[in-house]
C-alpha cells in the first residue's frame, strides 16, 4: 500500500473547512469548491474522501455532535455542588467562547435543515430527548432537599428552550447577546427554576458570581 494517509484525520480537516465555510457564508454558500478553498486543497481531494456532498455534511454534523457530547461528558461529576454542576453542564450548550460560538452557528444551521428531512428529524428527536433527560436528572439533583415540584418536567423544558433561545439569539446577533448576558440569563433562569434553592441570591449585585 503506497502513500498511506490517515483518512480519519483528512476527513476531520475537511469537516473543519465545512464549519468555516458555514460560519462565514451560511449553508447556502457551502459548495464543494468553497470547502476545498477553505481547506487549501482541490475539489478532487474532497471528493476523494467523501462520496458526495450529503456524506460530507453528514460527517460534519456527526463531528459537531461528538464534540458537544465530549465536552459535556468531560465535565467532572458528583462531588461538587449540584446546582454548580447543573449550571456548568447547561453552559456547555451556550456559545460563550469562540469555539462554542462556531459550534452553535453550525448547530443552528443544520437544525433548520432537519425540518425537511425525516431521517435527520428522527436523529434529532432522540438526541433532544436524551438532552432533556440529562438535564432533568441534574435539576432533580439540584432540587434535592426540597419537595419535587409537580411541574418539574415543564421547568426543565423551560430551561432547555431558554438555552436554545439564548444560543439562537447569540448566533444571530452576537453583539446583543454577549457571553456575560447569556450567563446572567441562564443563572437567573436557574434561580427561577430552583425557586430560592440558592437562598438570598444576590445575583443583581454579583452578576458574574
Nearest approach, Cβ of residue 157 and DNA (Å): 37
Residues near 146 by beta carbon (within 8 Å), at least 6 away in sequence: 195, 197
The grid coordinates listed for 105 are: 452557528
Q: Which stretch binds a copy of itself (CB under 8 A): 6-14, 46-54, 69-77, 108-116?
A: 108-116
* 108-111 CB contacts, 8 Å cutoff, 24+ apart: 108/167, 108/168, 108/171, 109/22, 109/26, 109/27, 110/27, 110/57, 110/61, 110/64
97 vs 148, beta carbon nearer a copy of itself:
148
How far is the C-alpha of 94 from the C-alpha of 188, rounded, in Å? 15
Question: Per CB under 8 A, does 171 bind a copy of itself?
Answer: yes
Contact 208, 187 (CB under 8 A): no
Task: Name which position in 12, 16, 23, 45 contacts DNA (CB under 7 A).
Answer: 45
Contact positions vs a copy of itself (CB under 8 A): 24-29, 105, 108-109, 111-116, 121, 124-125, 128-129, 149-151, 154-155, 157-158, 160-166, 168-169, 171-173, 175-176, 181, 184-185, 188-189, 192-193, 195, 203-205
Contact positions vs DNA (CB under 7 A): 1-5, 7, 10, 29-34, 41-45, 47-49, 51-54
Amino acid at each position: 500500500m503506497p502513500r498511506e494517509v490517515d483518512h480519519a484525520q483528512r476527513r476531520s480537516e475537511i469537516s473543519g473547512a465545512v464549519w468555516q465555510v458555514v460560519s462565514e457564508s451560511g449553508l447556502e454558500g457551502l459548495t464543494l469548491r468553497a470547502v476545498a478553498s477553505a481547506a487549501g486543497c482541490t475539489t478532487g481531494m474532497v471528493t476523494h474522501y467523501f462520496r458526495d456532498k450529503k456524506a460530507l455534511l453528514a460527517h460534519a454534523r456527526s463531528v459537531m455532535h461528538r464534540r458537544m457530547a465530549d465536552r459535556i461528558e468531560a465535565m467532572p461529576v458528583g462531588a461538587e455542588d449540584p446546582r454548580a454542576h447543573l449550571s456548568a453542564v447547561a453552559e456547555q450548550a451556550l456559545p460563550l467562547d469562540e469555539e462554542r460560538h462556531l459550534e452553535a452557528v453550525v448547530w443552528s444551521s443544520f437544525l433548520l435543515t432537519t425540518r425537511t428531512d425525516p431521517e435527520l428529524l428522527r436523529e434529532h428527536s432522540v438526541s433532544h430527548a436524551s438532552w432533556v433527560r440529562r438535564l432533568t436528572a441534574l435539576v432533580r439533583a439540584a432540587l434535592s432537599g426540597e419537595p419535587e415540584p409537580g411541574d418539574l418536567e415543564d421547568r426543565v423544558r423551560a430551561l432547555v428552550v431558554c438555552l436554545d433561545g439564548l444560543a439562537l439569539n447569540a448566533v444571530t446577533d452576537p453583539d446583543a447577546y454577549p457571553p456575560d448576558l447569556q450567563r446572567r440569563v441562564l443563572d437567573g433562569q436557574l434561580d427561577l427554576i430552583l425557586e430560592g434553592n440558592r437562598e438570598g441570591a444576590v445575583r443583581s449585585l454579583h452578576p458574574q458570581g
